[in-house]
Structure 1
Amino acid sequence: MGDKSYPHETIAWAKQRLDELDAIISEVEKTSKDLSGSVRAEADAALARLEASRVGLQKSYDALRTETEDLKRTAEDVQNALDDEWVEVETSFQSFLGALADQADTVRGIVAARVEAQRQAWDNSLKGLRDQAAETVDQARGDLDAAIKRLSDEADTFQARIGEVKDARDASWEAVKSGLAEAKAVHDRTIDKIKGAFAKLF
């Protein structure tokens, strides 16, 4: 069941990145207005790359949404075809039972066999769901606890780095930026792991 939510999780993730990139572009544009010379040229070049990345991300995001909608329509078409075929099954079955109207014991046996097959299928389905739910809940709980601890540890580490270099320049600032990028990467991986654990539940 978690597989069904995967495209939606990816769409949500891509939308978050687009929103984040929009915020970055907006701030770069504001800041660039006050720059001049070679610094302005570098800022403009970076802004152009950001805007090109924005176009690429938007294209991928739109393609994913289109593919997801196409897949949904295909699944609906298949479901409709199955439903139509099942109407034929039911119609044929009822016609058969109608032909046996004067043979009540035979009809009763056929209907009882069908009910037993349905009950067995439901029991198997419920057992599978129960087993999967129990396993998934245990796994998700462990993954979630480990991911939250890791995220908390990384946040503490990063906060300590910020405190050490709040008045820093150049090399120290590069270390802070690197630490921020590293913490963000860990954060993203951790959030993905948490989402994956929750997705297994649904």
Structure 2
Amino acid sequence: MHFYLNWAKERIDEMDAALGSFEIKAGKAKANSKIKADQIVADLRRCRDEFQAEITAQTQAGEAAWAHTKMDLEKQWNSFETQMKAYFENAGKQIEQQQSTFKDIAGAQARAWREAADKFRELAGKMAVSHTGEFEATLKQMKADATTADARLETLKQAGGESWSVLSAALAESRKAFDQANQAVWHALKGSGAKS
């Protein structure tokens, strides 16, 4: 189940980062646009809270239940992303806001990579079985993938003028790499004797 929990935590961390960025911007908005910004933040917060509630409800569920729940959570995640995209297309075309939000979300992704790798290493250390070469190699690959993803995101942070669709695509690519690495390490760990 660690794969699902890591997957969900990474999305929550991104949601929190985006909300934090939007809340700062909404707080600085002028009166006429403040109402619209506050409504967007409220809508995003509602999506995030529903997502968190679903995760909390599933924490004790088994792997099969998580697989089904993940499909529902992916729909909620997509809704959150769609609302962010709408914000940038309608109310928030400011490059500064896009860059700020991108940096916050990219930072959340980088922390998720590090935390997942640390959790897997800690779990492996607690296991009574010896670490297999496959697990160590897979964990090493996860860290290498994290470094590569972080470097790509850092390049975009420095570029400055990219559209939200370009920034969002880079975040999605990094997120997909995280999910694949997370899954691979979890399978290797399970294969070396871990129980889910």
- TM superposition score category, shorter chain reference: 0.3 to 0.5
Task: Name the structure with the higher helix share.
Answer: 1
TM-score, normalising length: structure 2: 0.47
TM-score, normalising length: structure 1: 0.46
Structure of higher CA gyration radius: 1
